Amino acid sequence: MTAHTHDLGGRPAWAKDAVFYHIFPDRFARSERVPQPSNLLPWSSPPSQEAYHGGDLLGVAERLDYLADLGVNAIYLTPIFQSACNHRYHTHDYKQVDPLLGGNAALRELIEQAHAREMRIILDGVFNHASRGFFQFNDILENGPHSPWLDWFFVEDWPLSAYDGSLPANYCGWVNNRALPKFNTDNPQVREFLMDVAEFWVREYDIDGWRLDVPPEITTPGFWEEFRRRVRAIKPDAYLVGEIWREAPQWVRGDRFDATMNYVFAAAAIAFCAGDRVSRTLVEGRSYDPYPGVDAVQFGRRIERLLALYDWETTQVQFNLLDSHDAPRVLSIARGDKATLRLATLLQMTFPGTPSIYYGDEIALPGAEDYDGPHRDHDARRSFPWDDEASWDHEMLEYFRRAIALRHAHPALCHGEFKQLYADNRQYVFARSNESETLLVALNAGDEAAELPVATDEFFAQDRARKPIFGTAPPANVNGGRATLSLPARAGAVFSA
**Catalytic site positions:** 213, 243
- The count of C-alpha atoms lying within 13 angstroms of the C-alpha of 75, restricted to the half-sphere facing its C-beta, is 29
Q: At what angle do helices 263-274 and 296-309 cross, to 10 degrees?
A: 170
Q: Which of 265, 263, 264, 259 is nearest to 238 (CA)?
A: 259
Cβ atoms of residues 494 and 469 within 8 Å: yes
For 159, list phi and psi in degrees, rounded to 5: -80, 160
Distance CA 321, CA 402 (A): 18
Identify the three-state secondary structure at position 303: helix
The helix (H) or strand (E) run that includes residue 396 is helix 394-409
- Map 114-141 to HEC letters: HHHCCCEEEEEECCCECCCCCHHHHHHH
DSSP labels, 161-225: -SS-TTS---B-BGGG-TTSBBP-TTSHHHHHHHHHHHHHHHHHH---EEEESSGGG--STTHHH
- Bridge pairing between strands 491-496 and 476-479: unpaired
